[in-house]
Chains A and B, each alone.
Chain A
Amino acid sequence: MPLNRAYVGRRLPPTPAYLVGREKIREFATAIGAGDPAYHDPDAARALGHPDVVAPPTFPVVPAGAASRQLRDDPELGLDYSRVVHGDQRFVYTRPVVAGDELVCEVTVAEITERAGHEFLTTRVDVSTMAGEPVVTVWNKLVVRGGA
């Protein structure tokens, strides 16, 4: 079943706030083997001018990925997750994510295309604080193999 083209340009309602925990950042940093003190030690992060530990560059995939599950679970879009592979990923930062951030994610379906029998679903997730301060924009392209 092809992806529902009516979703192109659709902006989903903002998610409830994701509270970035210090231990979650430490856990994520440990999982990728990143021992930089700024990811683990609040004092080291403060020395760089941040209020608490800093998240590694790809950390926003955690809240953004959770936000995108709204699409994955929406039968109207028609995304067959068993045929999905990850195509592209990009993070465009306004500032780093730090522990204590309360992040709101707004998912937009940017593009649906097809080529060589596959479909491509591009989403943009605008990640900002509860106060509306932009933090990072997360771009994701999924390939639906044999979708077209």
Chain B
Amino acid sequence: MRVGDQLPVRTFRVTRADLVRYAGASGDFNPIHWSERTARSVGLPGVIAHGMLTMALAGRALTSWAGAADAVLDFGVRFTRPVPVPDDDMGAEVEISAVVTGVSDGQAELDLTASCQGQKVLGQARAVVRTG
């Protein structure tokens, strides 16, 4: 990786079934991630993905770019916009990209962009990964 490198876009699909599976695996059973009724009652357009699932998908992108499952040293994000997940077979599509902003000592600093339907869903998304 070199400073200024644009890393290849990774696209992930998230369906309602994925939300149920993530709820069980993570222990986050907040009903806004599985109940349309609850999500609408708190002013959301419908069921939304767990922010931590979106972050986990960005983590998959990070490890794929770094080339190792254990390469992430520092990873932080801000959740700026929800990812609505419609109740159909297609679900939502999240695109993750990144640019290399720094390189030193076998490490790279990345600025990530995550978007859904053309809208950014993460802000201040930065990571340090081991490259060597």
Interface residues in chain A, defined as those with a beta carbon under 8 Å from any beta carbon in chain B: 24, 27-28, 30-34, 36-39, 48, 50, 54, 56-58, 61-62, 65-66, 82, 85-93, 96, 139
Residues of A within 8 A of B68 (CB): 38, 48
Q: A66-B27, A89-B79 are in contact. Are A39 and B21 (CB under 8 A)?
A: no
Contact B56–A56 (Cβ < 8 Å): yes
Q: Of A30, A62, A91, which contacts B21 at CB under 8 A? A: A30
Interface of A is mostly: mixed
Chain A CB within 8 A of B105 CB: no
Contact B69–A65 (Cβ < 8 Å): no
Contact B79–A58 (Cβ < 8 Å): no
Contact A31–B21 (Cβ < 8 Å): yes
Residues of A within 8 A of B56 (CB): 32, 34, 56-58
Closest to B25 in A: A31
Query: How far does the alpha carbon of A66 sit from the alpha carbon of B77 in the complex, in Å?
Result: 20
Query: How far does the alpha carbon of A139 sit from the alpha carbon of B51 in the complex, in Å?
Result: 14
Chain A to chain B: the 8 pairs with minimum beta-carbon distance, closest first = A90-B76, A31-B25, A38-B69, A57-B72, A36-B69, A32-B56, A57-B59, A86-B51
